Amino acid sequence: MDLIWEVLQPCWLSYLGPRTTPGERKVNLNQGMAEVLKQLNQYPIKTRLSLTGTLVVARDIAHAKLKEALDRGDGLPQYLKDHPVYYAGPAKTPE
């Protein structure tokens, strides 16, 4: 799994301060995936969420390396099972 760790180095985002809107629901991503999913299943799709906690962000190459590891039978690192993974693929260039 060393190769995956090289691809998925953690980074820190700047805190922008509280920004709330009426009807928004707070979700702590550090409470464990079972609890997060249980909480998310309570809300309709259009519900605005305020997410706090750890979110793993990975580009397309990281996802490819994870699939290779799974195909080899290596499994996934625990942090990928404990936290949501956001696919941050390349965006289309505006014309």
Is 15 part of a structural domain of the chain?
Answer: no
Is 14 part of a structural domain of the chain?
Answer: no
- Do 71 and 88 reside in the same domain of the chain? yes
Is 19 part of a structural domain of the chain?
Answer: no
Domain that holds residue 61: 55-95
- Do 49 and 60 reside in the same domain of the chain? no
- Residue 81 CA to residue 20 CA, distance in Å, equals 29
Which two tokens mark 66?
A: 């994870």
What tens digit of pLDDT does each residue of 55-77 get? 888 888 888 899 999 999 998 88
Q: Return the pLDDT at 44.
A: 93
pTM of the model: 0.65
Is 11 part of a structural domain of the chain?
Answer: no
- Do 63 and 36 reside in the same domain of the chain? no
What tens digit of pLDDT does each residue of 18-62 get? 667 778 899 999 999 999 999 999 999 989 898 889 988 888 888
